[in-house]
Structures are given as structure tokens and as C-alpha cells.
Amino acid sequence: MSEIKHGTFDYYGAKETNGLSNGSKYHEERAGARTVDWTEPGLRITRLRLLSDPGFPLWDVSYCHGTINGEHVDVLLPFDQLPKKGMRSEIVRYAQKDKLFAKGMGILDNISTLI
């Protein structure tokens, strides 16, 4: 039997969008990052990771990362689940409630999903 490499989701029938490349040091480079609220001035979202199961109507937030002046940060969000249908609209609603511009902070352009 061949060896299964970390991150090889095709083997299990999973579907991923905007995944990390095999061998990526993404998480290691962000270890020890400080945590900020998504309302922190100057925050740019670099990755919102969402997970779910087939047939389940919601996405679970796995993590959210960003940068402030080039510093890697972990981001606290006001939600931990989002609907699969209308997910981006729901993010915009949360942002508007907190007087943020979702598109401008990069969150809508940096979504990664695994199902």
C-alpha cells in the first residue's frame, strides 16, 4: 500500500478549495502569533479556513489568520459557523454590524474550504 501524505485529501474523497501546497510551512511560520479581534485597525485577512461535512448546511470556522503591518496574527471572529448557502453575504452582514468593510479587509478573497 502506498504512503498517504499529510494534506492528500483526494485519497479520502474530500473536496478542498484554496488549499495549501504539500510541504507548506504555513502553520509553522505562524506559530506563536498574537491574537487580535477582527475589528483591529490595519488588519488584513490572509486566510479563513472553513470545514464541513457533505449534506451538513453549515461551515465551521477552523481558523482565521491575518497580518497587521506585516506581522502574522490569529484573528478572533464574531462567528464560529456560517451557512453554506449565502456564506459570503453572512460575512458581510457581520462586518457591517461591526462597521467593517469585508471586501476591503480581504476576508472574502481568502476563504479556504474543506468538505
Using the predicted structure, report yes or no on whether residue 3 has a pLDDT greater than 90.
no
15-53 pLDDT per residue, tens: 777 777 666 787 777 888 999 999 999 999 999 999 999
Q: What is the DSSP string of 1-54?
A: -PPPPTT-GGGGT--EESPPPTT--HHHHHTT-EEEETT-TT-EEEEEEEE--T
User: Domain segments of the chain: what residues?
Assistant: 24-114
Q: Does the model's pTM come out above 0.85?
A: no
Using the predicted structure, report yes or no on whether residue 13 has a pLDDT greater than 70.
no
Q: How many helices (H) and strands (E) does the chain have?
A: 3, 7
